[in-house]
Structure 1
Amino acid sequence: MTTIAERAAAAAGRTDTAPAAEPGETFTSPAAEPLPDLSGYVPREGEDWDMVPVHIAWLRVRRDIAYIGKGDDYKENGKTKYNFRGYERTVAAFGPITLKHGVSVIPHRVTPSHRDAKSGKGTPMRESTTKITWRVYGPKGDFFEMESEGESLDYADKGTAKAQTIAQRVALLVAGLIPTGAPDSDESNIERGEAPPRTAGSYRDEILEQGTSRQRMAQINYEIKQVGLYNTKVVNEVGDEEELGAFLFRIGQERFAGGGQ
């Protein structure tokens, strides 16, 4: 007898099913395989859709897919840095199964935004963020809505399209509650380090900045008293040593004597 995962894989043209996990075990992502060509897929003769409400049809889609492993890998210099579930793999799983159950996932409202950005090497790029409201229609024509967002960076004119495909992948995987077989995020823990204490010199530099406001100067006065730096000597703007508190007061008087902010 075949399992649900095996039946779902067969419908999608895949063979990379994962065995059911025993209690205490985790799924292991299968190796990546070529994705099937779904361009000619149509329901077989006699496979009429059951006229059920959309939430029942969607539950059937979830039941038949069951699992999509992280079978795609991202490489740099020929070495795999991490595995992921790509857009094509996700659509290859959902495409035939949604067709089988008479389900359509249609973008209903698209809200894009863009801004100029730069890569780490300073190359001009375009950042695209897209929020999409999706309508999931069932075989009877009723629907429910869900929202997702995607973002991308691109050198040319593909940023919006990339952001939309990411949003679609996120919507399908989240609404489908599809497991990955990856380690749970709670299995790792990163201890937050304490921020290094500020030095008298860093306060001096901030005080000298023309953009430091009167309100910020008052806050600095409070901070340096709290951390015991008020009487610490610093080298002022003319190269002489001066206590930080006195330096703060003098610069404040000079800069805001006319009532400026």
Structure 2
Amino acid sequence: MGLRENAAAAAGRALTAEEHDRPNEELPPGEDFTPAPDPMADYEPGDDEPEMVPVHLAWLRVRREIRAIAKNAEYNERGTRYNYRAADTVVQCFGPVTLKHGVNVLSHRVETVYGSKQTKSGSTMRECSVTVTYHITGPKGDVLVVQSAGEALDTSDKSTTKAQTVALRNLLLNNGLIPTNDRDPDADRIERGIEAPARTPESYRDEILDKKTSPGRLQQISYELGSLRMLGRKVQNETGEWETLDDLGRRIYGERTGGGA
């Protein structure tokens, strides 16, 4: 059966006499068109093969298994010290899980921008900023297209490689929404605020009247009282008269600065 016969059969009809007589200009004489077989048509995953699910579901399964990646690496150079999540650690966490679920993370396009910076010692460092377009491919071959950026400095020829490594780390962490499971730094401040006894209007009055309290501190007290909604609270001043904390603070501030409030 030739090309025309295949097309007619797919449309559920037979060729007309005119179509039979028309010369075939698209294929060499004697050659018939045979569609290429679908390599995945009869595929059935084995015990060790990933389940054939769409890429967005496969990526979700990857995220479920990688619950958190802690900041276990430490940077301590030139007086700067901090903890971070190293690229090797991130890849080691994602690598086995993406294999398990049939997910590939492939760089599709890399856009680079180069520059140079001088160090304090006078040497020149090559700076590279990259924007990488990635294809996250699922077990069925469907694709998520995502982008990530990275930048790096190096004294030799490794700035491009380093920048792409940073971009890959950012891609996996950001698109995986992977937390550190570190304690929220604000949590300590909140707990200390709860544990510390609340200041009374009288304690603020005493601090305002204290001659050692500077004008700068008086201004800070005014901001604190405003945030606590205590500016209108009345206290007995140094003469025993009732005065709002706001008026008391303004008066004392004016006296100590030699001007108005």
TM-score for both structures, normalised by structure 2: 0.52
> What is the match of residue 156 of structure 2?
156
Q: Aligned runs of 1:19-30 on 2, under 5 Å?
A: none
Residue type of the alignment partner of 2:112: P
Q: 1:185 to 1:130 in 2, by over 3 A?
A: farther
Residue type of the alignment partner of 1:179: P
Unmatched 5+ stretches in structure 1? 1-44, 190-261
> What is the match of residue 74 of structure 1?
75
Q: 1:82 to 1:54 in 2, by over 3 A?
A: same
**Greater relative contact order structure (CA < 8 Å, 6+ sep):** 1
> What is the match of residue 49 of structure 1?
50
For residue 175 of structure 1, give the secondary structure of its aligned residue in structure 2: helix
CA distance in 2, matches of 1:63, 1:70: 19
Q: From the two aligned structures, give the one with the greater helix fraction.
A: 2
Residue type of the alignment partner of 1:143: V
Query: 1:131, CA displacement in angstroms?
Result: 0.4
1:170 aligns with 2:179: no
Q: Aligned runs of 1:1-261 on 2, under 5 Å?
A: 46-76=47-77, 81-184=81-184
For residue 60 of structure 2, give the secondary structure of its aligned residue in structure 1: helix
What is the root-mean-square deviation in Å for CA atoms of aligned residues?
Answer: 2.3
For residue 91 of structure 1, give the secondary structure of its aligned residue in structure 2: helix
Structure 1 range deviating more: 122-131 or 154-163? 122-131
8 Å contact 1:70–1:181 — kept in the other structure?
Answer: no
Residue type of the alignment partner of 1:138: G
Q: Note the alpha carbon deviations across 1:64-97, whole angstroms, 9 max, x for none.
A: 11111111111338x9921110010000000000
Aligned residue pairs, count: 144
Q: Percent identity?
A: 47
Structure showing greater Rg = 2
Q: 1:187 to 1:108 in 2, by over 3 A?
A: farther
CA distance in 2, matches of 1:148, 1:159: 16
Query: 1:159, CA displacement in angstroms?
Result: 0.4
For residue 115 of structure 2, give the secondary structure of its aligned residue in structure 1: strand
Structure 1 range deviating more: 66-75 or 141-150? 66-75
8 Å contact 1:58–1:103 — kept in the other structure?
Answer: yes
TM-score for both structures, normalised by structure 1: 0.52
Query: 1:155, CA displacement in angstroms?
Result: 0.3
Query: 1:117, CA displacement in angstroms?
Result: 1.4
Moved over 3 A (4+): 182-189
Q: Note the alpha carbon deviations across 1:142-188, whole angstroms, 9 max, x for none.
A: 01111111001100000000000000000000000000123547779
